[in-house]
A and B are shown apart, each in its own frame.
Chain A
Amino acid sequence: MKAGGEGERDVLDPQERVRFEQLVLPHLDAAFNLSRWLLHGRADAEDVAQEAMMRAFRFFRGFHGGDARAWLLQIVRNSCYTWLEKNRSVDLSTEFDEDVHAQPSMTPETLAIAGDNRERLTRALEELPVRFREMLILRELEGCSYKEIAGITSAPIGTVMSSLARARQRLQRILTQPAKQQRQEAGRGL
Chain B
Amino acid sequence: MACELTQTVLHGYMDGELDAARAADFERHLISCAECVSVLESNESVRSSIQRAGLYERAPRALRQKVQAQLSGTKQPAVMPIRNSAPWRWLAIAATVLLALFLGWRLPSFLPGRSESTLAAAIVDAHLRSLQPGHLEDVVSTDQHTVKPWFDGKLDFAPPVQDFVNQGFPLQGGRLDVVRGRTVAVLVYARRKHLINVFVWPTTEADSEPLSGSELGYHWMEWSKGGMEMYAVSDVSRGDLGELQRLLAQ
* Residues of A bordering B, CB below 8 Å: 2-3, 6, 11, 17, 20-21, 25-26, 28-29, 31-33, 36-37, 42, 45-46, 49-50, 53-54, 57, 100-104, 106-108, 111-112, 115-116, 118, 121-122, 125, 136, 139-143, 145-146, 161-162, 164-166, 168, 171-172, 175
Stretch from B3-11, B87-95, B141-149, B202-210 contacting the other chain: B3-11
B140: CB under 8 A from chain A?
no
Contact with A along B71-98 (1 / 0, CB 8 A): 1010110010000000000000000000
- Is A146 touching B2 in the complex (CB atoms < 8 A)? no
In the bound complex, residues from chain B placing their C-beta under 8 Å from that of A115 are 45-46, 48-50, 53
Contacts of B53 in A (CB 8 A): 115-116, 118, 121-122
Q: How far is the CA of A104 from the CA of B2 in the complex (A)?
A: 11
Q: CB < 8 Å: which of A28, A161, A165 contacts B67?
A: A28
Measured in the bound complex, the distance between the Cα atoms of B55 and A3 in whole Å is 26
Task: State the CA gap A115–B49 with chains docked (Å).
Answer: 5
**B55–A108 CB distance below 8 A:** no
Q: Specify which chain B residues have a CB less than 8 angstroms from the CB of A33 in the assembled complex.
A: 56-59
Which residue, A3, A33, A136, A165, has most C-beta atoms of chain B within 10 A? A165
Separation of A104 and B35 alpha carbons in the complex (Å): 11
B43 within 8 A of A: yes
Query: Contact between B41 and A108 (Cβ–Cβ < 8 Å)?
Result: yes
Interface positions, chain B 117-174, Cβ under 8 Å from A, are: none
Say whether B8 contacts A165, CB under 8 Å: yes
Per the bound structure, the CA–CA distance linking A54 and B67 in Å amounts to 8
CA distance A166 to B10 in the complex (A): 12
Task: Find out whether the CB atom of A116 lies under 8 angstroms from the CB atom of B55.
Answer: no
Chain A residue numbers with a CB within 8 Å of B12 are 146, 161
User: CB < 8 Å: which of B35, B42, B191 contacts A111?
Assistant: B42
CB contacts (< 8 Å) of A25 on chain B: these are 67-68, 71
Is B46's CB under 8 angstroms from A175's CB? yes
Q: How many chain B residues touch the partner (CB < 8 A)? A: 49
B30 to chain A, nearest CB (A): 15
CB-nearest residue of chain B to A142: B193
Question: Chain A's interface: helix, strand, loop or mixed, by majority?
Answer: helix
Does B71 lie within 8 Å of A37, measured CB to CB?
no
Q: A32-B60, A161-B8, A161-B12 are in contact. Are A172 and B55 (CB under 8 A)?
A: no
Contact A111 B49 (CB under 8 A): yes
| CB <8 Å contact, A143 and B67 | no
Given contacts A25-B67, A161-B11, A161-B17, is CB(A140)–CB(B192) below 8 Å? Answer: yes
Q: Are B59 and A49 in contact (CB under 8 A)?
A: yes
Question: How many angstroms from the CA of A140 to the CA of B17 in the assembled complex?
Answer: 14
Q: What is the CA–CA distance of A2 and B60 in the complex, to the nearest angstrom?
A: 17
16 contacts between A and B (CB under 8 A): A6-B75, A25-B67, A25-B68, A33-B56, A49-B59, A57-B71, A100-B7, A101-B2, A103-B2, A112-B49, A115-B50, A121-B49, A139-B15, A161-B11, A168-B11, A172-B46
Taking A54-B70, A165-B6 as known contacts, 15 extra A-B pairs with beta carbons closer than 8 A to each other, sorted by chain A number, are A6-B75, A25-B67, A29-B59, A42-B60, A46-B62, A50-B70, A54-B67, A100-B2, A111-B45, A115-B49, A141-B193, A161-B11, A162-B7, A164-B15, A172-B46
Q: Pick the contact of B192 from A2, A103, A143, A164 — CB < 8 Å?
A: A143
What separation, in Å, do the CA atoms of A29 and B108 have in the docked complex? 25
